[in-house]
């Protein structure tokens, strides 16, 4: 364990010029296993209160470690969200706020920092950012899944017979772009098992250096395909609708006709949503099995006591909540992400309501790894929270989606702004956790609205946001 002064020096993210020799660090460096799902609602883990879904391995991970219930992704689309995790910085600062965004120079990726700190760094699964994994510090790549196979694409349908629009032309490939279309073009029903196979192989490697294995699953992103053996896993007729299910969204979010939203017809019906949820849950239960295989590989090598395991997702998903299907929104079911941490120095069975960002995982990992940061980051280490030295990191957190949506959330209240249409929403998350009653026009809460608008404006100015509320 590092000293308190060393940890705090890492947490603030200042540039460090003195590197401790790798051989001296190795004795205190845990292995790092970072597991990231894709489009997973924060309420889809049994241990976190879902009475329908079956996730025994994630449930066990939560019991053995700590859960954070108020982690957010900040920008709820894949590329920028994963970019924030890679760089430890807001998209406003490191340059990626949408698909196809380019990282600004001067921001080391997490893999680069850990590699310099003596780790063997490995990447598995979905790659959806600029460059390739090896240009971000990953010394080996297995089970890489990315775009570029469009010439092999043939139209497909999902479990409900609807045309596939997601992951069209994606294939397994090597880091230098040798592609394997014979393994499937686009998502396949067993794809989570393929990623787990690669992760297990890496864990079984006898290399004496501590490892950083970064696994990016595609599940449960659309297209929803029934995994092998899961045809009857969940009965659509028995699937409960989200508590905030609505046929249609009341406001123009700026993405009501986007690709994600076109996955279900309008108005949303209970039958359509239940059918989607049944397959969505099946995909997640299959994913849970694969996570279990990876964790079993750690146990078989007797690495549990010296491996920091982090499980999270790049963002949530609506799945019928608020009349939406996709992820481009600021509601809790989407902006929040599941976050479970287990390992040395992490309390067992603890739950934290600390507000935080996905980008905080970058300095957290470096903190536990005893590896200094090489450039300033926006994130803050969660280690002081886990060790009981700190309760609050951010009194307010902020979310954004293109120029269409902005959000500020405090301990109890959330304010959402839709700049293009001049609309606001205010939700009392304590009394109305499903965000069904917009209270922005209620005179009794104008002081709260004013305070949150000031906080939002202050943040927008600090990041030079081109969208400033009037």
Rounded mean pLDDT, 49-72: 98
pLDDT at position 297, please?
98
All residues at 6 or more sequence positions from 32 whose CB lies less than 8 Å from its CB, including other chains: 114, 119, 210, 211, 212, 213, 307, 308, 310, 365, 368, 369
pLDDT at position 21, please?
43
Measured CA distances, 297 to 32, 201, 301 (Å)? 14, 9, 6
All residues at 6 or more sequence positions from 338 whose CB lies less than 8 Å from its CB, including other chains: 37, 40, 41, 42, 44, 45, 48, 58, 71, 311, 312, 313
In sign, the C-alpha dihedral spanning 347, 312, 467, 427 is negative
E-strand spans in 243-349? Answer: 307-313, 339-342
Rounded mean pLDDT, 31-60: 97
pLDDT at position 27, please?
53
pLDDT at position 101, please?
83
Domain 403-462: CATH architecture, name and number where available: 2-Layer Sandwich (3.30)
pTM exceeds 0.75, yes or no: yes
* Interstrand relation of 66-68 and 339-342 (parallel, antiparallel or unpaired): antiparallel
pLDDT digits (tens, 9 = 90+) for 295-347: 999 999 999 999 999 999 999 999 999 999 999 999 999 999 999 999 999 99
CATH superfamily, domain 4-397, is Alkaline Phosphatase, subunit A (3.40.720.10)
Question: What is the DSSP-derived secondary structure letter of residue 204?
Answer: T
Secondary structure in 3-state letters for 3-22: CHHHHHHHHCCCCCCCCCCH
Rounded mean pLDDT, 242-251: 96
pLDDT at position 469, please?
62
Mean pLDDT, all residues of the chain: 93
pLDDT digits (tens, 9 = 90+) for 168-178: 999 999 999 99
Instruction: Output the six-digit token pair for 188.
Output: 């396949």
Question: What is the DSSP-derived secondary structure letter of residue 431?
Answer: T
What is the percent of the chain with per-residue pLDDT over 90, rounded to a whole number?
Answer: 90
Instruction: Output the six-digit token pair for 390.
Output: 């700190």
pLDDT for 8 beyond 90: no
Instruction: Output the six-digit token pair for 86.
Output: 């890679």
Rounded mean pLDDT, 69-76: 97
pLDDT for 261 beyond 60: yes
Burial class, 60, CB count within 10 angstroms (exposed 0-12 / middle 13-18 / buried 19+):
middle
Spans of all domains in the chain? 4-397, 403-462
Give, in degrees to the nearest 5, the angle at Cα 319 between 404 and 74: 40
pLDDT band at 17 (very low <50, low <70, confident <90, very high): very low
Rounded mean pLDDT, 234-238: 98
pLDDT at position 142, please?
95
- Residue found under tokens 């957290």: 364
pLDDT digits (tens, 9 = 90+) for 123-151: 999 998 888 999 999 999 999 999 999 99
């Amino acid at each position: 364990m590092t000293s308190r002064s060393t940890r705090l020096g890492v947490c603030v993210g200042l540039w460090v010029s003195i590197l401790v020799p790798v051989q001296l660090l190795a004795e205190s460096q845990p292995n790092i296993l970072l597991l990231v799902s894709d489009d997973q609602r924060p309420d889809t883990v049994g241990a976190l209160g879902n009475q329908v879904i079956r996730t025994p391995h994630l449930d066990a991970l939560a019991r053995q470690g700590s859960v954070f219930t108020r982690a957010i992704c900040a920008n709820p689309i894949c590329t920028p969200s994963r970019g924030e995790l890679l760089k430890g910085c807001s998209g406003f600062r490191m340059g990626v706020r949408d698909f196809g965004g380019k990282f600004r120079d001067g921001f080391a990726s997490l893999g680069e920092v850990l590699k310099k700190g003596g780790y063997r760094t490995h990447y598995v699964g979905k790659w959806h950012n600029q460059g390739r994994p090896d240009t971000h510090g990953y010394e080996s790549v297995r089970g890489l899944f990315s775009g570029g196979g469009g010439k092999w694409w043939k139209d497909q349908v999902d479990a409900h017979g609807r045309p596939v629009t997601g992951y069209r032309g994606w294939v397994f490939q090597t880091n230098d772009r040798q592609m394997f279309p014979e393994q499937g073009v686009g998502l396949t029903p067993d794809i989570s098992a393929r990623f787990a196979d690669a992760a297990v192989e890496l864990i079984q490697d006898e290399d004496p250096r501590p490892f950083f294995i970064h696994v990016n699953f595609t599940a449960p992103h659309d297209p929803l395909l029934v995994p092998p053996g899961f045809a009857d896993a969940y009965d659509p007729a028995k699937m409960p609708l989200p508590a905030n299910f609505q046929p249609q969204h009341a406001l123009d979010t700026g993405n009501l006709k986007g690709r994600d939203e076109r996955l279900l017809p309008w108005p949303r019906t209970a039958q359509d949503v239940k059918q989607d949820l049944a397959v969505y849950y099946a995909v997640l239960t299959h994913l849970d099995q694969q996570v279990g295989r990876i964790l079993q590989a750690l146990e078989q090598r007797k690495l549990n006591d010296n491996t920091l395991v982090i499980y999270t997702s790049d963002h949530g998903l609506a799945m019928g909540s608020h009349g939406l299907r996709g992820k481009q929104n600021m509601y809790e079911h989407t902006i929040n992400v599941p976050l479970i941490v287990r390992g040395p120095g992490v309390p067992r069975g603890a739950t934290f309501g600390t507000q935080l960002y996905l980008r905080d995982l970058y300095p957290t990992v470096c903190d536990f790894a005893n590896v200094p940061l090489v450039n300033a980051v926006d994130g803050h280490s969660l280690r002081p929270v886990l060790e009981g030295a700190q309760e609050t990191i951010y009194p307010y957190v902020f979310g954004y989606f293109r120029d269409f949506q902005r959000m500020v959330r405090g301990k109890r209240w959330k304010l959402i702004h839709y700049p293009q249409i001049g609309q606001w929403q205010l939700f009392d998350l304590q009394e109305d956790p499903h965000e069904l009653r917009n209270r922005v026009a209620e005179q009794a809460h104008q002081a709260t609205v004013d305070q949150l608008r000031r906080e939002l404006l202050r943040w927008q100015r600090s990041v030079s946001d081109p969208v400033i509320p009037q």
